[in-house]
Amino acid sequence: MEIAEKIAGEIVLSSKPGATMRKWREIFGISQQDLARHLGINSSVISDYESGRRKSPGVGMVRRFVNALIEIDEARGGEIIKKFLPTYGEEAIIDIFDFPYSVEVDKFMRQIDARVLNPEIEFRRAIYGYTILDSLKAILHFNSYDYFKVYGWSVDRALFFSGVKYGRSPMVAIRAHPLKPSAVIYINPEKVDELAIKLATLEGIPIAETFLSIGEIKEKIRELF
């Protein structure tokens, strides 16, 4: 299971494996007592690992720890595991496409009839692809891991958001996430909030609006290649 490999890898590679174990235990919402009971050990052992009082866990302990998290979650209905499945949250991704070569931002904006709302910033990055997102579904279903899926093969891409009224929430999410797109475009927004424009400007990201349909956007972009 992909999530098991991810957790085990993080623990093994961490400079503070005990703290990483605690992070994942808390993500799964499992108490030290419940985890220890499942493993058949004293809860003080879990506490000692997490606090760093006990030396780094061996491969065997890491495997048992990860399996216990998954087994306990599965017994509870698997709600945490579902969030890390490759398909979870993907319904928010309407379309994703990677380019065979880069396209300059200004050319890209002209091609999709977009109006840049912060034209004073410098277009510093080219675009190597795009992702079209359903804004509401992304907000409701995405966790921090899901956002990595949005960027396909390159972070240098345009992110389109559909179903946008004011565009504040998508820019707040982008501001908080370590990966930043080359450009942000809102599809048929009601009115782009000044805060969204300010946040984009602070990040050095051109933000724009287009009133083409999703179908028209996809068609026009593919005309570039």
Residue 159 has pLDDT above 80, yes or no: yes
Residue 61: per-residue pLDDT: 94
Sequence ranges of the chain with CATH classification 1.10.260.40:
2-84
- 179 pLDDT band, cuts 50/70/90, is confident
Q: How many CA atoms lie within 13 A of 179 on its CB side?
A: 17
Cβ neighbourhood burial of 132 (10 Å; 0-12, 13-18, 19+)? buried
Q: Where do you find CATH 3.40.1390.20 in the chain?
A: 90-222
In the block, residue with structure tokens 């277009």: 123
Indicate the average pLDDT of the chain: 88
Q: Token pair for residue 112?
A: 């999709």
Mean pLDDT of 112-125: 92
pLDDT reported for residue 176: 82
Q: Would you say residue 173 has pLDDT above 70?
A: yes
Domain 90-222's class?
alpha beta
Looking at per-residue confidence, does 146 or 194 come out higher? Answer: 194
Domain 2-84, architecture per CATH? Orthogonal Bundle (1.10)
Burial class (CB in 10 A: 0-12, 13-18, 19+), 222: exposed
Sheet holding 115-116, edge to edge: 93-103, 127-134, 158-162, 183-187, 207-210, 115-116
pLDDT digits (tens, 9 = 90+) for 52-110: 898 889 999 999 999 999 999 999 988 888 777 655 456 788 899 888 788 999 999 99
**Around Cβ 25, how many Cβ atoms within 10 Å?**
21
Q: What is the pLDDT of residue 136?
A: 76
Query: Tell me: the pLDDT tens digits for 10-61?
Result: 899 888 899 999 999 998 999 999 999 999 999 999 999 999 898 889 999 9
Q: ∠ CA(93), CA(95), CA(97), 5° rounding?
A: 125
Q: Is the predicted pLDDT of residue 2 greater than 80, yes or no? A: no
Could you give the CA distance from residue 41 to residue 209 in angstroms, rounded to a whole number?
57
The band of 203, judged by pLDDT with boundaries at 50, 70 and 90, is very high
